[in-house]
Amino acid sequence: MFAYIAIAVVIMLVVLLLTLVSISKGYNYKHTVDPMPEETDEATGTVNKQ
């Protein structure tokens, strides 16, 4: 009976550890944003800078 409880506790600790590692990696991820495209005048093909 003790063996089943010990195995269950080990499995719970492994799942907890993997959860914490996964959350930590998610918070450390560096998000990037693409720059806004320049607006062009479709008729003339020139770039409008505002």
Comparison of pLDDT for 4 and 36, the residue scoring more: 4
Split at pLDDT 50, 70, 90, the class of 38 is confident
Using the structure block, give the residue that is written with the tokens 């799942």.
15
DSSP, collapsed to helix, strand or coil, labels residue 33 as coil
CB 47 within 8 A of CB 39: yes
The reported pTM is: 0.57
**What is the average pLDDT value for the chain, to the nearest integer?**
85
What's the half-sphere exposure (Cβ side, CA atoms, 13 Å) at 17? 6
Share of the chain above pLDDT 70, in %: 76
